[in-house]
Each structure stands twice: as structure tokens, then as C-alpha cells.
Structure 1
Amino acid sequence: MTSPETREGGIAPRPVLDRLPRYAAGKPPAAVSGLASFKLSSNENPLPPIPAVLEAIANQSDFNRYPDPLSSKLRAALAEFLGVPADDIVTGAGSLGALNQILAAFAGQNEDGKADEVIYAWRSFEAYPISVGLAGAESVQVPVTADGRHDLAAMAAAVSARTKVILLCTPNNPTGPALDAAETEAFIRSVPPDVVVVIDEAYQEFVRAEGAVDGIALYRKYPNVVVLRTFSKAHGLAGLRVGYSVSHPGLTQYLRVAATPFAVSQIAEQAAVVSLANFGQVVERVQKLVDERDRVVNGLKDLGWSVPDAQGNFVWLALGAESAAFAELAGTRALSVRAFAGEGVRVSIGEPEANTRFLQLCADYTKAPATS
């Protein structure tokens, strides 16, 4: 960034902004003559919301009024759906909004000027370092294993007296593997009980791995566990920004103070309530995407490509230095994918035609990751 003296009007932001990465949203696909374009760069659900949700949205008109700041109808619906007390649920603008509320409440800079520490795997969700830094805390990034998994032993070893929050992303975005229930519970038991452990389950509905962690089950047992979930992925409501956290009253009492007022609009709340009421239809759509994910993974393995265990709605290609070149080549075929420079490429599961074209691209590509 430019120095404070060169900024317009001489106004400088907080110094932390110079040290933070920029969030890079997935780009839309370029138009290519003769080809339908597909966006596979943002882990979006390629299917629209279920018909009942679209109808409910179309019938709303009370946008001259503020929404219920507590999202009472949604919390009541979630309480019944999850079998938890409604008071244990705090809504937010997507799961990222709910995460920011957690960090605002529990991690930042203390009165002595020292920053709290937030531990998370890396690479993981790219918003983590931004959110942690803006909260005033320091990131402690623990490298994932060679197969894209959390190194829970190393994360436990990284805990210090300054650790306030630990973020567990499962399935891990962008690498794909989900955490195992037994290993996650052992990890929670190994860290001090005054450290908040956040289990970020944005892609929970796509998980099919046997023995995978269920954040709600661990929240029931451990008062320092917070579960994050969202309606953006499986429910196809990414544009409406509705997510939530689940935790015990000892934590929610502070999360409500940190919560952004009116973060979930009435249209988002109604859409989420209706989608939950028709969850069977959501499950059917998710299964179609899981079937496509499995087809893509099997196709890549048949080509000799090494792919981490994909439990979300995306696959990870550890292409290293070739990541940008692969993404550029995908663009010539009207596919947008998400490249992480020097590390790899994340490709969302999209429409069948898009997935087939992606597999053909990989079949033609000569610099695939070696089989592990």
C-alpha cells in the first residue's frame, strides 16, 4: 500500500490494513464464442433455491420495516430442526458475519496493548486472516498436512497463554477433507477450557465421510465450542447472507452484544425458514451435487491426478507454481476457477456440463499433480 503521506487527504487507515491480505472473490467466467460459460470459482450452489423459497420471496413486501434483530422465527425453526434451545442460536450475515461476531467478542487487543492469538489451519478459508486482523488479534497459522488435512497435534502445540480462539474449518476450504469426530473431540479435550473452539461447518450438508465430526454433538458436550453454519451453500441462499452460530449461554450472552443489528433481513429470514421446512428437497439437490462431486473426483483419479478427500462442493488441485496458468487455461474454455498463487486451484462442483468440460480440461493438461 501507499505510505500515509501519499494517501488522498493525508488520511491513513489503521496500520493493520497494510499487513492484511485482500479477499479475492471468485471471478465470473469470460465469454468464449460457441461455449456456455460456467462459474466454478466461488463454491456457489449452481441450483436456485427450492420453488417454495422463491414463492415466499416473491410474496414479501415489508421492506420499509426493519427486520427482527433477533431473527426469532428463524431461531425457533433452527431450534426445532437441530434440537437445541433457541437461546443458543445467534444469527449473522452468513457464517462469516457470525464468525466476525465471535472474534469481536472473544479476540482482539487487550488493555495492556498485547494482542490475543487466534489459531487456525493454513491454507484454510481466506477470510480468516482478514477477520482476525481486523478484530485486533494475531493469526497463528498452522500448515495443513500434505493431504490437505488439519494438523491437530501441531495446532494443540501452538496454544499459548495468549490463545483465545481456535478455528476448525470442516470440510476445510479450499483443500476439502473433513475432520474426524474422535480426533476433534480429543483435540478439544487437549486445549484449555477457556479457549473458544469454533467448528466452521459451512459445507456440513455435503459431508459423506464415515466418522466425520458433527459440531452440534460436540457443542452439546463442551461449553467452549461454537458451531458455525450457513444457508449459503446447501440451501442456495448465498446472495441473501444468512448464517448462524450455536453455543452455550455462557458464550451467546456476549455474542448478542457483539452481533450486528438487523444483519439478517426479513427476506433472508423467511427464505431460510421455508427452506428448512422443505429440507427434504434441499437434501435431494445436495445429493445430486455430491454425486457430481464423486464423478469429478473419480474422473480425476482415473487420469492419475492426486486429489485430497473432497467432502465439500469443490475439489482441490495442488498445482503449485502452475496454478495461475491452469486457471488461465480454464478461462479459455469459459470456466472460471479459483487459483491460489503458488499453491493450488479450487474448482467448485457446478452443472454437469461444466464438470464434464473441467474433466476434459484436466485430461488435456500435461502438468497434473503427481499421484500421491
Structure 2
Amino acid sequence: MALTLRPHIAEMPVYRAGKSAQPGPDGRAWKLSSNENPYGPLPGVLEAVTASLAEMNRYPDAGNSEITAAVATRHGLAEERVAFGTGSVEVLAHLIEATCGPGDEVVYAWRSFEAYPLVVQVLGARSVQVPLTATGEHDLEAMLAAITPRTRVVMLCTPNNPTGPAIPHDDIVEFLGRVREDIVVIVDEAYVEYVTDPDATRGLELFGVHPGVVTLRTFSKAYGLAGLRVGWMAAADPVLAQAVRSVTMPFAISSPAQVAVMASLAAEPELIGRVRVTVHERDRIAAELRAMGHAIPATQGNFVWFPAAGRTEEWFDAFRHAGLMTRAFTGEGLRVSIAEPDANDRILAVARGLLA
């Protein structure tokens, strides 16, 4: 007798991680496909992590107590509202696991973060994808119209990955005022440290607006801990944070990862400096690309979006041959991460020939 899988698992596509770059004609290469921080660990982080390896024979703190206290203090939150996971995507998965069952609906914009449909499908829930606007923004009116009695969760990605625009704070407040109170509204702020628009969503200020608001944050991007996998959530209702803690596997976050979080929080002045460099480069690149004629959406992440439609693969190859590995979404466009100035200059050099 053949082994069988649950149908929705057997039909799941595999998540595509960003590929590494192959050297260009001058032997140089940059990976711009995963929105990684191009800079190494912040001061003191590597030393602290290395020292922690001396006790690798011991289990980590299963309750994540030190990092929970530190993050809660840093953001003025009650500890009971906070929960951690191995990356914000795992926290998201646990939120869906805790709130949705087979047939329940999860509404989100599309295109958005590639993991959303996978997380929903693995639990047998149903994705309701609402198209973005022509400028790569969330269509909040259309999302409200997509809510049905089966809707359990709404997900908002701000800034939106891969297109870049952030949702205006006042718009999301008005939106939340029209969403049923029994719906969980997940505000994914993985790139919040790069946001400079004063009118953009401020997720932690939404708890008094709707009882089901949850914000997601990560140490993978601005903090540069992508290889150690640490994400966290804060919830308007502590019951949601407790639910995530309940379904998270014990000892999920390693001791070196927890040590890295503490050291990274202590190095935030240096973090701010690095973020400013990336933001300056992002704005410079976006402005120059628009001046060339590229329709780059307003971006508040550490990346830019090239709407390329039917030329996506052609443009992907042009960047690849120049030693730049980007993320291609066939028939839609390219997401290109901001990196070191040399890599960013090469983005511009390639982009000048794309519209010919």
C-alpha cells in the first residue's frame, strides 16, 4: 500500500530561497535576492556568540526570558504580550496554527511575502489573495470587501515585500475600525527599521484600535542575524501571545541566538548608523532608477521593485550576467536588495540598458 499525504500538503509548492550570485565579467558577485543585511555582525555580537558556544552542551532558556524582558523594555510592552520564534515567519505560522482550521479564510494582499500562501496551505486553511494596486500598494477597500464570515485572519505586510510601499498609519487605523473584532489582524513589520516615512504604519500604536492586532518583527534584517533565526511578535491581546508560546517547540531559539539578540540590542547606536547608510543608498538608487524611466514604487524596505511583466526573465539574466543575483517573479518583476555602494552602482549600470 502506498503512503499517502494530506492533499493540501502533497500539493504544496516548495519555498524558493534566494540564490547565490555567480561572478560577473570582472569576477565580482553580489547576492541581492534575499534582502539580507550586507554588513557583518554588530560590534560585540560575534564575540558574545563565540563565548556562548562554550556551553553548547546545555539547553537554551526555553522561556526566552532574558530576550523577552529586553525587547519588552525596549518597546514599552508588557512581557505577557510578547512571544518569540525562529524567525518572524515561524511566529506567523504559529499564529495561523492557533487561530485557523481547515476551510477558514486568511485574507492578504498579493503579491506579498512568498511564505504567506505556504503557511496558510499547510494548515488546510484557504488563502484569499487581494491584488495590489498598480503602484504596488495594499488595496484596503478591496481587502475589506474580501472579508467573509469564514475569515479568521487578515495579514498586512508593511512595507510590502516585494514591492516596497508602506501602508499609511491613518489608513490602517480607519481600516481596523471596520474589521470585525473576532478577526486577528497581523501587521508584518519585518522591515520597520528601514521606514523613514513619518506617515507610515506604526504597528505598536494600533493595540488600542482593534483587539486582534498582532505585530511581527525580526532580527534577521536590520540587525543582521538572518543566520540565527530570531523573530518576535507583540499582541494587543496577551491570549494570542500565550497561544504562540504554547504551540512553539521547546528550546526553539538556540543559546547563541539569544545571546546575539542581547548583544545586538546593546549595539543599537551602531545599528542606527548602518540603517541610515542603507536608507540613503535605497533612496539614491530609487531616485536614479526613476530618472531613467523605471516605474519603481515608493519603497520603505531595504530593496527596490522593478515592474518588468513579460521582460522579467530577460532583466533577471541581465543582472545575473553582471554578477548580481536578484529575485525574479515570473511575469511580474524583480526584487533587488540594497547592498554595498559598489553593488548598488552596478545595479544602476545594468538598469540603464534594460529599457532599450
Given the two structures, how large is their TM-score scaled by the length of structure 1?
0.93
Q: Does 1:92 align with 2:85?
A: yes
Matched residue SS, 1:98 = helix
The Cα offsets for residues 293-334 of structure 1, whole Å up to 9 and x where unpaired, read as 011001101211111001000000010111111111111111
Give unpaired runs (5+ residues) of structure 2: none
RMSD across aligned C-alpha pairs, in angstroms? Answer: 1.2
Which of 309, 315, 318 is residue 329 of structure 1 equivalent to?
318
Return 215-224 or 129-138, whichever deviates more: 215-224
SS in 2 for 1:12: coil
Match of 2:137 among 130, 149, 156: 149
In the alignment, which of 159, 174, 180 is matched to residue 147 of structure 2? 159
Pairing 1:77–2:66 present = no
Which letter does structure 2 place at the counterpart of 1:37? A
Give the aligned partner of residue 320 of structure 1.
309
- When residues 70 and 220 of structure 1 are mapped into structure 2, their CA distance, relative to the original with a 3 A threshold, is farther
Which of residues 50, 54, 58 in structure 1 aligns to 2:50? 58
Q: CA deviation at 1:250?
A: 2.6
How far apart are residue 220 of structure 1 and its match? 4.5
Kindly report which structure 2 residues correspond to 1:80-229, keeping only aligned pairs within 5 A, or say none: 80-109=73-102, 115-229=103-217
State the one-letter code of the partner of 2:48.
A
SS of structure 2 residue aligned to 1:190: coil
Q: Distance in 2 between matches of 1:252 and 1:277?
A: 25
Cα distance in 1 for residues equivalent to 2:180 and 2:209: 15
**Aligned match of 1:239:** 227
Partner Cα separation in structure 2 for residue 34 and residue 250 of structure 1: 55
Per the alignment, residue 304 of structure 1 pairs with 293
Please give the residue correspondences for 1:22-37 in structure 2 after superposition, counting only pairs within 5 Å: 22-37=14-29
Contact 1:98 1:244 in 2 (8 A): yes
Contact 1:35 1:333 in 2 (8 A): no
Q: Distance in 1 between matches of 2:120 and 2:18?
A: 21
Contact 2:193/2:222, CA 8 A, preserved across alignment: yes
- Which whole-Å CA distance do the structure 2 matches of 1:347 and 1:208 have between them? 19
TM-superposed deviation, 1:17: 3.0
**Alpha-carbon distance between aligned partners in 2 of 1:204 and 1:271, rounded to the nearest angstrom:** 20
Q: How many residues align?
A: 354
Q: Which residue matches 1:281?
A: 270
User: Separation in 2 of the partners of 1:244 and 1:189?
Assistant: 25
- The answer for the alignment partner of 1:38 in structure 2 is 30
Distance in structure 2 (CA, Å) of the matches to 1:352 and 1:226: 35
The amino acid across from 1:34 in the alignment is D
Moved more, 48-57 or 138-147: 48-57
Identity %: 45
Contact 1:148 1:308 in 2 (8 A): yes
TM superposition shift of 1:11: 2.2
Q: Does 2:248 align with 1:294? A: no
C-alpha distance in 2 between matches for 1:221 and 1:277: 31
Output the CA distance in 2 between the equivalents of 1:239 and 1:334.
23
Indicate the SS of the match to 1:120. strand
Three-state SS of the structure 1 residue aligned to 2:301 is: coil
Preserved contact between residue 215 and residue 233 of structure 2 (Cα < 8 Å): yes
Q: 1:274 to 1:127 in 2, by over 3 A?
A: same
